[in-house]
Chains A and B, each alone.
Chain A
Amino acid sequence: MSALLYRRPWIRLVLLLLPAVVWLVIVYLGSIVGLLRYSFWSLNDFTGTLNRTLTLSTYQTLVTDPTNRDIVVRTVGLAASVTVMCGILAFPLAYYMARYATPRMKTVLYLAVIMPLWSSYLVRALSWRQILAEEGVLLWALRKVNLEGVVDVILTAPLVGGTSLIASKFSLILVFTYLWLPFMILPLETALERVPRSFLEASSDLGARPGLTFRRVVIPLAKPGLVAGSIFTFSLTLGDFILPTMFGGSEFILGQQVFVQQGVVGNDPLAAAFTLVAMVIMVIYLLAARRAGAFEAL
């Protein structure tokens, strides 16, 4: 038996491959193709039944209806804000880990960063509802230092405002940033580790101040890591529909629209069309990321 398998490696290969290929290609990819089919069908406006003839009318609705357009723009804006915030917050910790932490310390920090990633997403979101509550920790702390005015400034600000902290877009961005931050720290740390110390010394020997060295040497070399991390922060924000029900008021983002159209309204074609929009945005993003060298930093 084993001799046969050794002489005819392709038999072995087929046997090994078959289960996973069946599962991933037929069940998974098949499902996605099956879903996308719906987006080229339409819903009869009067009876609400599915009309299985090929049409682009669903996409026409998606593009011409300002509500739908707003959802796409809002979602991309949100994903971009979350990505930028993650990049800013990840930098100090990633830089410290890459440049200064002892190997032992680095292991500890690495574990500390990765653990929240694998622990419950929902639990971590839940804690922010309690932090941002009217009587919660954040407002308590701000009152202690007489900075509660900051909250009013945030709530009345355009784009990030809202009726209360929990219902503000600011919170939505903040909690998304919190949830996806480790995804940014890890690849960024890997990229920063590869920045040769001699480059920084050379830069300073040539008279560059720390700020200039940072902008002209560190940032460009860290770019692949930043882009690699942004793939996760962007993609995960794009498809989420749980968090926007917990934070950020009543304006829909893309994930919610898919969820509501499919589950509540029963408009499968529109839900499928929005899914395709999310996939297209992600594919464009991935292609751009590959050009930026992000795949080598993953």
Chain B
Amino acid sequence: MSRRDGRAGVGLRLAAFAVMGFLYLPLGIIVLYAFTTQETSFTFPPPGLTTRWFGVAFGLDDMWEALYLSVRVAALATVVALALGGLLAAAVYRARFFGRDALAFVVVLPIALPGIVTGIALRSTFAEAEVPFGFWTIVIGHATFCIVIVYNNVVARLRRMSPNLVEASGDLGATGWQTFRWVIWPNLATAVLAGGILAFALSFDEIIVTTFTSAQDPTLPIWIFNSLFRPRNRPVTNVVALLAVAMTFVPLLVAQLLTRDRTQVGAAREVR
């Protein structure tokens, strides 16, 4: 373990490499079976390769509807999360007030507690308040666990920003708006953007809370889940799965490069 030449032993390097392979190999399998010629089974190696499933998948109206619903939900949930999470971060990062720690704890709860708790709790409230299930109830559910993502990103950035900057700006005669526009915002913009992208990705892929807060119309993850139990055209599911991954992968990479710090660890979930 403690070799002095500063290089890892062969065993450790192999093991680390194997774990990385374990993380990424399954994604390769999804890609591979999107091209298989078999309709109902997953023989390895695939007997032949074809691109026709892409045409089939892109011709499905219900798939496009699910995708469109997911995009609308994620966009609105992100907007709500940006507003609430951003304001909350601005309130919490410097002020000391009664209940501050409790509030910081409550923000994290929607991702610290199992998703099913959030889902079923919101469902029973919606049912009691006779709110019809559908677009808006999905958005409310998603925004609840997205707030923390934005909050974490923005608060981390604010903590690194010197409070002297704001005071200096005021002393030099800037109005509150000018200070925000020319001093605070330039420092904050990438953190807000990154938080928004992460919130979008989290909402776009969410299935557990969504199961409880949606009506009949499926979001894209629910569409994929339902299609698992359809016996035919299995590769179509893989094509749509690839689409779902592509929709979040590039923005996420951008978000990570924008922040480059490690505040995401506690904020990630599946979650989902």
Contacts and interface: CB of A to CB of B under 8 A. Distances in A.
Interface of A: 1-2, 5-6, 9, 13, 16-17, 19-21, 23-25, 27-32, 34-35, 38, 89-90, 92-93, 95-97, 99-100, 107, 109-124, 126-131, 133-137, 140, 178-179, 181-183, 185-187, 190, 197, 200-201, 203-204, 210-211, 213-214, 218, 231-232, 235-236, 238-242, 246, 255, 258-259, 262, 268, 271-272, 275, 278-279, 282, 286, 298
Contacts of A278: 113-114, 116-117
B241 A95 contact: no
A275 B12 CA distance: 41
A89 B19 contact: yes
Interface of B: 1-2, 4, 6-8, 12-13, 15-16, 18-20, 22-24, 26-27, 29-30, 33, 41-45, 83-85, 87-88, 90-91, 95, 97, 103, 106-107, 109-110, 112-118, 120-125, 128, 140, 143-144, 147, 170, 175-177, 198, 201-202, 205, 207-208, 211, 221, 224-225, 228, 237-238, 241, 244-245, 248-249, 252-253, 256, 260, 262, 264-266, 268-272
A240 B119 CA distance: 11
A241 B84 contact: no
A79 B249 CA distance: 28
A151 B85 CA distance: 49
B44 A140 contact: yes
A120 B29 contact: no
B268 A129 contact: no
A136 B43 CA distance: 5
A121 B270 CA distance: 6
A117 B202 CA distance: 10
A137 B28 CA distance: 12
A140 to B, nearest CB: 4
A118 B272 CA distance: 8
Point out which of A24, A30, A109, A136 has the most chain B C-beta atoms below 10 A from its C-beta.
A24
B270 A31 contact: no
Nearest to A179: B270
**What 4 pairs between A and B have smallest CB-CB spacing?**
A239-B114, A2-B176, A92-B15, A16-B91
B207 A121 contact: yes
Nearest to B103: A21
A96 B241 contact: no
B228 A129 contact: yes
A20 B26 contact: no
B264 to A, nearest CB: 6
Contact of A23 (B19, B117, B147, B238): B147
Contact of B268 (A9, A117, A137, A197): A117
A211 to B, nearest CB: 8
Contact of B95 (A9, A231, A282): A9
28 contacts: A5-B176, A16-B90, A17-B91, A24-B107, A28-B118, A30-B125, A32-B117, A35-B120, A117-B268, A117-B270, A118-B201, A119-B245, A119-B249, A120-B245, A121-B272, A122-B224, A130-B30, A130-B238, A140-B44, A178-B22, A203-B2, A211-B1, A235-B114, A238-B114, A241-B208, A242-B211, A258-B120, A298-B265
A119 B252 contact: yes
A68 to B, nearest CB: 16
A239 B1 contact: no
Contacts of B245: 119-120, 123
Contact of B224 (A123, A190, A200): A123
A19 B87 contact: yes
B17 to A, nearest CB: 9
B42 A122 contact: no
A198 to B, nearest CB: 10
Contact of B207 (A116, A122, A262): A122
Contacts of B198: 118
Contacts of A21: 103
Q: Which of B13, B15, B23, B244 neighbours the largest number of chain A CB atoms within 10 Å of its CB?
A: B23
Contacts of B45: 140
Contacts of A268: 124
Contact of A242 (B19, B29, B117, B208): B208
B248 to A, nearest CB: 6
A214 B1 contact: yes
B44 A136 contact: yes
A96 B8 contact: yes
Given A118-B198, A121-B270, A203-B2, A35 B121 contact: yes
B43 A2 contact: no
Contacts of B248: 118-120
A203 B20 CA distance: 30
Which one of A124, A127, A185, A282 has the highest number of Cβ atoms from chain B below 10 Å of its Cβ? A127
B207 A13 contact: no
A126 B30 contact: yes
Contact of B20 (A112, A232, A255, A262): A112
Nearest to B123: A262
A13 B95 contact: yes
Contacts of A133: 41-42
B239 to A, nearest CB: 11
A120 B83 contact: no
